[in-house]
Amino acid sequence: MKGTSITAWGVYSVWHRHARVYQKTWLFNSLPPLSEPLIYLVAFGYGLTPLVGEVLYAGQTVSYLKFIAPAMIAIGVLSQSFFEGAYGSFIRLSFQKTWQALLTAPLSFTEVFLGDWLWASTKGMIAGILTGIVAVLWGLYSGWHLLVSLPLIFLGSLLFGAMGLLTAGAVRTIDQMNAPVFLLILPMFTLCGTYFPRNTLPPLLGKVASVLPLSSLVDLLRWPLGLPNFWPIELIWLLLLIGAFAVLAWRQIYPQLFQ
């Protein structure tokens, strides 16, 4: 079916197929989202806390470990959802031909697209929640704060999953993935207020970094420490980006299958 018809069962079928594949290697697949934040928290937390001590954020002084903990949640969401959407979807689309095989079933392209997108978002959710649990056990984030932050983690997973799918649809070889990774993802890792407040950057660079989507997610996840006055704009910005990247990804992938 080439149409845009959508059923919940069709989307779930695609998502469930990816989840079953994931379950076969769940132990190895759970290592990156769990070990990555631990390494970052230990390396930057214990390595830089003696040097930095405390950070001034939202008008109050907080410990450096509490400052970076929400950012580690955001980084876990970004890395897992984007790379699953980019590399995972590209491999299923161009090498394994999984999309083509799914379309031989009574599924529409939109159902396959949404199922793949939701699976990339699920990987981001898993990473964000596991990182949040580590932060809670460490005493850097309360369980209540993590529970309230789940919708934000979901929005971030949708956004970066859509960015990954757009990448999968835009590139033609796996080597071309290096362009968005090194020109967009890595700068977001380092410049979006993850390891230091953005107001320490040069003014122009700080403004550029504030527009990048990870900045908004990091700011919103730091709500227990205080929200910036413009936080509603950041939330709207995330929602707009989710819609824009999803539409662009849909339009990039569709012609590859139906030309």
Q: Which amino acid, 53?
A: G
Q: Which amino acid, 58?
A: A
* Domain membership flag for residue 1: no
Give the pLDDT of residue 1: 46
Structural domain of 247: 8-257
Sites in the chain below the pLDDT cut of 50? 1
Q: What is the pTM for the complete model shown?
A: 0.94
- How far apart, in whole angstroms, are the C-alpha atoms of residue 18 and residue 148? 28
* Domain membership flag for residue 3: no
- How far apart, in whole angstroms, are the C-alpha atoms of residue 212 and residue 259? 34
Give the pLDDT of residue 45: 74
- How far apart, in whole angstroms, are the C-alpha atoms of residue 12 and residue 115? 6
Overall number of domains in the chain = 1
* Domain membership flag for residue 2: no
* Domain membership flag for residue 183: yes
- Alpha-helix residue ranges (DSSP H) falling in the chain: 8-24, 26-40, 47-52, 64-83, 89-90, 98-103, 109-137, 143-170, 178-180, 186-191, 203-211, 213-221, 231-257
Contact 99, 90 (CB under 8 A): no
Give the pLDDT of residue 2: 52
Which two structure tokens, joined as six digits, stand for 207?
Answer: 């403004």
Tens of pLDDT, residues 131-186: 899 889 888 899 999 999 999 999 999 999 999 999 999 999 999 999 999 999 99
